Amino acid sequence: MIATGDAVLVLNAGSSSIKFEVFAMDPAPVPRFAGQMEGIGAAPRFTAQDAAGRRLADRRWEAGGAPGDHRAALGVIIDWLDGVLQGRRVAAIGHRVVHGGPELAAPVVVDAAVMDRLRALAPLAPLHQPHNLAGIAAAADRFPGVPQVACFDTAFHRSHAWEADTFALPPEFYDRGIRRYGFHGLSYEYIARSLAQTDPALAAGRVVVAHLGNGASLCAMQGGRSVDSTMGFTALDGVPMGTRCGQIDPGVLLHLMTTEGMDPAAVQALLYGHAGLKGMSGISQDVRDLQASTDPRAARALAHFCWRVRREVGALAAALGGIDALVFTAGIGENAPAIRAAVCDGLGFLGIALDAARNAANAPDIAAAGAATRVLVRPTDEEAMIAHHVLALLQRSENA
């Protein structure tokens, strides 16, 4: 049972990082502390701050120094939390899990059977799923008996119509789970929830959300529900990303294997780790590095990224039968005015036009005066969404 004053810990484990946030029940989740361990396995750095943004910790290790894996990194986080929680009980732990497959379409309390099902999905999200599950295992070791709740990035998209989710394959493949799932669902759900609170009329309409970060996708929402998404069976599909290719002709993959002699492992390594902005530019996966570079490959990579995002905005507007608002979120979406401007350039046929000054200032509403379609910049908060799900699920369990 979660009581007022208890804490909920949220963990978001990635390939080389663990983000965390602590919420106090008051009685709704109130953020208290947040931070991350990044560079796990290379040159780790631990940072933490309070809800007001005041830096409380900043520790670095040399390359090859501890912590060397996710379990050790979580140990550093928990040791630090022991000092700031001041006896506050950790009553539950919520985890972002990228892939829930066709069956896990809502948050669940993790047990051995759930872990087995999630491990079987790891090949569909190799950059994320194994590390998500490592975070769950490590947290269970440090907090024995505390409920662990898995929240899925795919769950928000389970409202799609069949025609949006199926591939043009014989139906038995769909029945075996080979279908379009969509990802970044916790981020999209947070944006939908936030819009419903601040602008209910807009939230009820046709909204395209662009979650643009190292991982990037777009989602079409009608009435706060996902109608379509650019990502599909795996988190490779859609627009190009930091190191991932985005949409690619399947014939390219056949060619790489049959003519170029690449085995499946080499193709996977290429598509997940050596493609996208990093692969195109040969420089970096970080948009900031590419914007600062004078290398023409950097400019071409960014131009392709913006072209693909713009194309998907148009496609998702078609899926909705029109568009009332375009929302930019996540690291690039929230902080890169030049990217937003390049994406919106040419979308005037959808009623999209930007106010250059407001866009440069990362203002919440960046549409030009009189534009038919609103263009918004909104922060996302997957950790807050997870905390909400943890509380709701455990309260339902207590009342059942």
Please identify every residue annotated as catalytic: 153
Parallel/antiparallel/unpaired status of strands 216-222 and 225-229: antiparallel
Tokens 């290429």 belong to 270
| Sheet with 90-97, side-by-side order of all strands | 55-60, 45-50, 29-38, 17-25, 7-13, 90-97, 148-152, 108-109
Taking only Cα atoms into account, the Rg of the chain, rounded to an integer number of angstroms, comes to 21
| Cα distance between residue 142 and residue 288, in whole Å | 37
Indicate left, alpha or beta for 80 from its phi (over 0: left) and psi (-120 to 50: alpha): alpha
Report yes or no: 208 and 219 within 8 Å, Cβ to Cβ: yes
Q: Give the separation between CA 400 and CA 394, rounded to whole angstroms.
A: 10
What residues contact 53, with CB distance under 8 A and at least 6 apart? none
With a CB cutoff of 8 Å and minimum separation 6, the contacts of 219 are 156, 157, 182, 184, 188, 208, 209, 211, 226, 228, 229, 230, 316
> Which backbone phi and psi does 207 adopt, to 5 degrees?
-125, 130
**Which pair of structure tokens corresponds to residue 343?**
């994406």
For residue 7, list its beta bridge partners: 24, 90
The pair of structure tokens assigned to 108 is 């669940």
Reference 333, options 385, 377, 288; nearest CA is 377
Residue where the block lists tokens 């699920």:
393
Residue 71, helix vs strand vs coil: helix
